[in-house]
Structure 1
Amino acid sequence: MLKGHAMSEEPLARADSDLTRPAASETPVRKVAAACLAGTTIEFYDFFIYGTAAALVFPKLFFPEASPFIGTLLAFASFGVGFVARPAGGVIFGHFGDRVGRKKMLVLSMMIMGLSTVAIGLLPTHAAAGMLAPTLLVVLRLVQGVAVGGEWGGAVLMAVEHSSPGRRGFYGSWPQAGAPLGTLLATGAFFLVSLLPDEQFMSFGWRIPFLASAVLIAVGLVVRLRVSESPAFQAVQVEKKQTRAPIVTVLRENPRQVLLVAGAFLVQSTVAYIFISYLATYGTAVVEASRSTVLGVIMASAIVSTVLHILAGALSDRYGRKPVYLAGVIGMGVLIFPAFALFETGSFRLMLAGHMLIFGLALSLAGGPTAAMFSEMFRTQVRYSGASVGYQLAGVFGAALSPIVATTLFELTQSGYVIAGYVAAMAVISFIAVVLIPESRHTDLIANRDGNKLPGSHERISTVR
């Protein structure tokens, strides 16, 4: 360790090699991965139904006095507020996740997410409450953002830290697959209620997906309460070696890794929310496809994405995190142009093919190895904080802005290809970041036999050959 670092957190920030290895996990890794998949699916369902509602409902119900363009911008701005809050969630939940455990934070984040989602389903509209309605909407979206900001780090660490070294990509991809699976459930819920007559859909139908979250949350809590704490964190607990201020430590010692995580995830974050939220508006308002056609395209693509996330995670165990991740990044940057051309035809089959190229295939290739690669970049005492903050920072500059940027670009140019160029630019940034991240699939998450070395910084971690 470099001079100055050795004394900075003494004795709390000692290397993982100094920690006693815990006994094998009390919960089989498949059960842990399934619990993480269930939890992230539910949390992303909650997060994504807001995005769908922002595209289809909120401009008319919460911002009715604005023009269609401004109303859509305001609705997507309220959507983006959740991403601004996500880094705060990463810091708060990361701190306590590194201090008291991953499992407790997962349960708490799910409870907060569920309550705020149900509350959105009960909100009065602008017609009933005036400006109080959009104000409450934004406040609840902030709460959602904090909750999901803490959710991701805990879920992926539980899956990755329970796994054997040769299976971390595979099991780490399960909570990653919760994002497209949550998209499927969210879009499916809106697809069903969209079959109602417009008057009923706008009056009460849109509330049903939000209120249904109460049932999903109850199921998710039961599943998550039955899994044990991760072995890597138990190793820290055994000798009481938690870091006093994990976020301070990781930003002081590993700022480069945090920035590389943010850069690497930027294009995934941008693409996901353009293809989930913005294209729901673009498909109906610009392409003039029916609401059910657009939602059907997103649902079908989400099914493929769920499966390919897990396949990509398994491939990263065999061929390395970087090659698989880079294939996805390059795919998003190059295939985005034919994808938009296909989507603009208005044909269900061609729209599906275009959506599948990006959301189903390219995004999944990068998404599958994400959990394992980002987790392997940080040591146990700061892993929750480091991975979470980097991941959520990408959400601020990618997901939060992407629907707004896409809406504005189209308004100015009336061209979907300009939006495609914006996505390609994000892919270039992510490509550079991933190239700078060393391959990490052999990293031992508990033992650290070269003495406090971390991949991707001035220090290098030992590997299991």
Structure 2
Amino acid sequence: MGRAERRRIVIASMVGTTIEFYDFYIYATAAVSVFPLLFFPKGNGTTALLASLATFGLAFAARPLGSILFGHFGDRIGRKATLVGSLLTMGIATFVIGLLPTYHAVGVLAPALLALMRFCQGVGLGGEWSGAALLATETAAKGKRAWAAMWPQLGAPIGFFFANGVFLILTLTMGDEKDTHGAFLTWGWRVPFLISSVIVILGLYVRLKLEETPVFARAVARGEKVKTPLTVVFKHNWRPLLIGTFVMLATYTLFYVMTTWILGFGTGKVTSKGADPLSMSYRDFLVLQLISVLFFGAGIPVTGWLADRFGRRRVLIVVTTAIALFGLGFGVFLNPDVMTEPLMLAVLIVGMLLMGLTFGPMSAVLPELFPTNVRYTGSGVAYNAASIIGAAVAPFIATWLAGSYGVGWVGVYLTIASVLTLIALFVMKETRDVSLDG
């Protein structure tokens, strides 16, 4: 494959994941700032926030279903067509959220419809990541697979940056984001969801111009396609499936603790032993997150390069150990009695840098664990199974721990997840030199 074709694949995989993660993150941001007020208005603020975070977690329950559905077609029909389908599923669901009536208009139907669209978002993203990862890894130059695979990973920080950036611009131009009669909560919050349709059209244009990956084409020519990839994965590849799931656990837990949970904690929507943690304004906190996400993006190519040079396993063991130690410091650095905005920024930067370092090699590691004829299904199920135990419940558990026992226990929770990932990494064999063609 020529350099121009590889460049086109890099752009397609990165643009696609940027769109998907943008759609996913605007919901995560709205789940803390908008939906508790407009879709779950009854009860106190913490109760409404927990209800909103429950719908946030619903997408993670849907993601394994998406990985099974799109993985089946990705391993049977091909990577290209399946990636188009996942993008459309995610894009349509996100656009519809921007049109939903609120609780005050239709009552309990509003949160029900919101939950349904969030479920559809999860299905779409469940098929997106593994397809983009395979697109990059199965067309990579020899010895540069982790570097090629890190490009779709960059879609996560880019999508996060644009999602929070749009919300920041809206709150700056539309006044108080907590005023239920103000422009932002009346109609402005819908804008990020509606404009996603324009970006989806761009993503479709890029992806429809791609060719099928040569690795998959050769597998088809050899007659290696299977009728039910999921059955084959559970029957013959259950060990790499289990290892891949726990390898991703710390990554997911860290990210959603450092984005969704900490937004509620930092803006004072959740109490810690009866005290108001920091009570930063929503806009000020978004600025801190936008700064920290730059370090998230910076960390991804670093470990993408290191994983090709030193191996995936060695790099991830070092980074995951650092995440475990970072969690043990929560009780000190996020203590409400000493917390300041500069300290919060420092915590966010360290957490997001570690996130970039652990996230970078993952799109190479998980596909390398599985053979070609079940690679889409296997890598997707592992990635999204980790999302259930590492991300779906992370904001909810962290909110409960901070409110019941103090913020230090949120860090303990992150450390436990990191230890489980370390165990999986010690069990896993190095995959850097594994051939994907077979």
TM-score by length of 2: 0.94
Match of 2:388 among 374, 383, 396: 396
Check whether the contact 1:336–1:358 (CA below 8 A) recurs between aligned residues: no
Instruction: Choose which of 251, 257, 261 in structure 1 pairs with 2:240.
Output: 257
Aligned equivalents of 2:407, 2:4: Cα separation in 1: 48
Q: Alignment identity in percent?
A: 37
Show the 5 A alignment for 1:28-427. Answer: 28-195=5-172, 196-198=174-176, 199-285=182-268, 286-338=277-329, 341-343=332-334, 346-360=339-353, 362-413=354-405, 415-427=406-418
On the 8 A contact 2:329/2:411 being kept in 1, the answer is no
Q: Decide which moves more: 51-60 or 188-197.
A: 188-197
Partner SS, residue 206 of structure 1: helix
Q: Give unpaired runs (5+ residues) of structure 1.
A: 1-23, 448-465
Matched residue of 2:391: which SS? Answer: coil
Q: Is the 8 A contact 1:62 1:134 kept in 2?
A: yes
**1:275-308 Cα shifts (integer Å, max 9, x gaps):** 1111111110131111122111111111221122
Alpha-carbon separation, structure 2, partners of 1:396 and 1:242: 29
* Residues 341 and 174 of structure 1: CA distance in aligned 2, closer, same or farther (over 3 Å): farther
Q: CA–CA distance in 2 between the matches of 1:205 and 1:314?
A: 41
Residue 392 of structure 1 and its aligned partner are, at CA, apart by 0.4
Contact 1:339 1:358 in 2 (8 A): no
Measure, in 1, the Cα distance between the counterparts of 2:430 and 2:280.
44
Q: Residues 395-417 of structure 1: CA distance to partner in whole angstroms, max 9, x if unpaired?
A: 1111100010011111212x211
Q: Which amino acid aligns with 1:101?
A: G
Equivalent residue, structure 1, for 2:273: none
Q: RMSD across aligned C-alpha pairs, in angstroms?
A: 1.4
Q: Distance in 1 between matches of 2:373 and 2:331?
A: 43
How far does residue 165 in structure 1 lie from its aligned partner after superposition?
2.9
One-letter code aligned to 2:291 = A
- Against the structure 1 CA distance between its residues 279 and 228, is the aligned structure 2 distance closer, same or farther, given a 3 Å change threshold? same
The TM-score with structure 1 as length reference comes to 0.88
| 2:427 aligned residue (432, 436, 442) | 436
- Unaligned ranges ≥5, structure 2: 177-181, 269-276
The 2-side partners of 1:27 and 1:109 are apart by 25
Instruction: Give the Å deviation of 1:270.
Output: 1.0
User: Residues 53-75 of structure 1: CA distance to partner in whole angstroms, max 9, x if unpaired?
Assistant: 00111111101012211111110
Deviation sequence 1:193-249 (CA, Å, 0-9, x none):
121212111111111111110111111111111221111111112233211111100
Shift, 1:338, TM fit = 3.5
For 2:328 and 2:229, the matched residues in 1 are separated by: 42
